[in-house]
Amino acid sequence: MIYIVMGVSGSGKTTVGLKLADWLGLPFHDADDYHSPESIKKMSQGIPLADEDRIPWLEQLAGLITRWEKEGGAVLACSALKEQYRKTLQSVPHINWIYLDGSRDTILGRLQSRHAHYMGPSLLESQLEALEKPAYGIHVDVSLSPEQIVQEVIKKLKHMIPLSEFGVIGLGVMGKSLALNLADRGVSVSMYNRHVPGKEEGIAEQVINENPSVTNIKGFDQLEEFVQSLDKPRKVLLMIYAGAIDAQLETLMPLLEPGDVVIDGGNSYYKDTSRRTKLLSAQGLHFVGTGISGGEEGARKGPSIMPGGPRQGYEQVAKYLELIAAKDKNGKPCTTYIGPDGSGHFVKMVHNGIEYAEMQALAEAYSLMRYMLGMAPEEIADTFSGWQQGGLGSYLLEITIDILRKKEDGELLLDKILDQAEQKGTGGWSAAVALDYDVPYDTLSEAVMARALSAMKAERVKAAALYKSGYTPADTDRKAFVSSLKNAYQSTRIINHEIGFNLMREVSVQLDWELNFSEIARIWTNGCIIRSELMEDLAVIYKTSDGLLLSPALADSMRSWRKDFAYVVAEGLQHGFALPVLSSALNYLLGYSTADSPANLIQAQRDYFGAHTYQRKDREAGMYFHTQWKE
């Protein structure tokens, strides 16, 4: 490696450079020794050098730097005041810049005490005027003693040698887990977390201390040092909340270079991702908006990863994503190139919408069994376990079984949890997008609204008293009802996935994304929250079919379950149970499979009051008519 100690004359470059070279075991060179006799004469007379005086000197040093690197490295003391000078000196890919910073008075005092040097105090003003402080490298205050300066430099250099393959910004649960996942697979990783006094201090160092067996990770709380620690082209994964992405990019982009790749692994809105992709592209940077699902465990052991954006940027990071992703049943990574622009985050958004509805459907099934049938939580867990083993296996069903068996002080922990379901926005985003594209989104939007309604706890308590409402137990054949409920749940899950994939299909067509639904289903078979046996079937079905409900393989089952489906919803509603997802799924199925719907009356009403016209079944398609309805 090449280390350049820079700063104005009198900042201590030579003293610090010599001590640093001794610690590193490298030869030391002073750039002043390579000035031409003419330049030395000018400076001795107090005449500042012009750029044309410096160019031959800088070019000579650049050639020497190339040679020194091949010989094993060196430490060079050089003023390197301007960015253009430093670019000339950058004749090798990796240089560690060490900037000695200090006040004018401190440096002037040092110059005045220095004797027999051609750089006198009179040249300081011209050097300070020419100085362009670097936004990168190691910065050290020259008010410290030379020994302290070197120790500070050494401390920071320990984080920078050698360069890391990959960088992670944001060390919350997901960011930390992904960084360790990469490191476990042999990737050298640099980690950065912002420094907030009293709140977030030394987070990266804490991760290192908590994982002593992981030796290929480095931590930083200074962004410039973090960026300089990365091999080029740099690959930086952002794992921060969506609202902070733009601010982070504003500070990060000036430190990057054309060809570098920034991956946004958070839950960003896909339209924001498309905007950021264009913004970074204009600077020669690649922005890869990437959905990541799997929670803390998935991030640590293998998540499902949905990258989108410029293919060139994706190809630079694909091997890392494939390395840390979960594997499907055939050992193939659960990640694939989704498509351009914000498609990766869009697909993750729909994933979360499906997730919302799957969770709500399980909650509704649980409430019917516990409060309508009077089943104990352990009995419900056993029933769900039977479903899990009988073809309905899924991660969400698995964790629901664990929750129903978890006790605290001998009591069910679930009963102590407040019934207010929170949400982070992705479900609401997908419902809004469905409205934008006129796509039916019944189960997924109902799941979002159910969470919103659950948040109205105080009002719900008052309303329950006012309406004297509550769950009514049913005097019914428990075994038969549970059998029907299983069929209703299976039907709901198929409809729920159909609705989510239908939104992806419509947006893909309109935005020309060419999404591969079989591949999307495949990468959702493991690692992600909605992984299930059903998803394995979808990966196969979507190879030949555009829709689940039109697939003959599923249509036979759906027909056989329809009576049970309607029975469960009717019984549940009659006994006072809100079933937003189960009932909306049934309504979707009935509406979808109705050849002649009452929508003709709606169109007639629209024409009546607004002259919106209508088409006729007995006339050529595409022809529109208007009627004066009132005689």
- Over residues 387-444, the pLDDT tens digits come to 999 999 999 999 999 999 999 999 999 999 999 998 877 888 999 999 999 999 999 9
d(CA 220, CA 238): 14
Residue range(s) defining the domain that contains residue 587: 349-592
Query: Are residue 460 and residue 314 in the same domain, yes or no?
Result: no
Q: Grade residue 58 by pLDDT with cuts at 50, 70 and 90.
A: very high
For the chain, the C-alpha Rg in angstroms (whole number) is 33
- Strands 2-6 and 95-101, bridge-based pairing: parallel
Of 156, 235, 348, 486, the catalytic one is: 348
Q: Mean pLDDT: which of 7-16, 192-201, 419-428, 616-625 is highest?
A: 616-625
CA nearest to 189, candidates 161, 219, 211, 210: 219
Domain endpoint, select from 316, 341, 366: 341
SS3 readout for 225-282: HHHHCECCCCEEEECCCHHHHHHHHHHHHHHCCCCCEEEECCCCCHHHHHHHHHHHHC
Domain boundary among 157, 191, 209: 157
Whether pLDDT at 24 is above 90: no
| Percentage above 90 pLDDT, the chain | 74
Dihedral in degrees, nearest 10, Cα atoms 50, 53, 54, 55: 120
**pLDDT over threshold 60, residue 115:** no
Mean pLDDT across 329-349: 97
| 70 band by pLDDT with thresholds 50, 70 and 90 | confident
The answer to whether the CB of 121 falls within 8 A of the CB of 109 is no
Q: Do residues 100 and 227 both lie within one domain?
A: no
**In which band, very low, low, confident or very high, does the pLDDT at 111 lie, cut at 50, 70 and 90?**
low
Is 88 exposed, middle or buried (CB count within 10 Å of its CB: 0-12, 13-18, 19+)?
middle
Torsion of CA 531, 537, 542, 546, to 10 degrees: -100
Residue-wise pLDDT for 156-180, tens only, equals 876 656 789 999 999 999 999 999 9
Helix (H, G, I), strand (E, B) or coil at 394: strand
Same-domain pairing of 31 and 174: no
Structural domain total, the chain: 4
Give me the mean pLDDT over the 435-461 stretch: 95
Looking at residue 196, its pLDDT comes to: 82
Strand partners, 138: 98
178 and 262 both lie in a single domain = yes
How many residues in the chain?
631
Catalytic residue among 355, 364, 446, 536: 355
Minimal CA–CA distance to 402: which of 305, 297, 534?
297
- pLDDT confidence bin for 267, thresholds 50/70/90: very high
Average pLDDT over residues 290-303: 94
Q: Do 194 and 239 lie in a common domain? A: yes
* CATH code, domain carrying 87: 3.40.50.300
What are the φ/ψ torsions at residue 55 (nearest 5 degrees)? -55, -50
Instruction: Give residue 86's pLDDT band: very low, low, confident or very high (50, 70, 90).
Output: very high
CA–CA separation, 338 vs 326, rounded Å? Answer: 16
Asked about 41 being catalytic, the answer comes back as: no
Assess whether 104 and 211 both reside in one domain. Answer: no
Question: Is 348 one of the annotated active-site residues of the chain?
Answer: yes
What's the whole-number average pLDDT of the chain? 92
Check whether the bond before 233 is cis (ω within 30° of 0).
yes
Of the candidates 143, 152, 133, the residue with the CA atom closest to the CA atom of residue 102: 143
User: Is residue 151 located within the same domain as residue 189?
Assistant: no
24/136 same-domain check: yes
Asked if residue 551 and residue 609 are part of one domain, the reply reads: no
Q: Do 143 and 170 sit in the same domain of this protein?
A: no
What is the pLDDT at residue 113?
63
Q: Are residues 583 and 600 in the same domain?
A: no
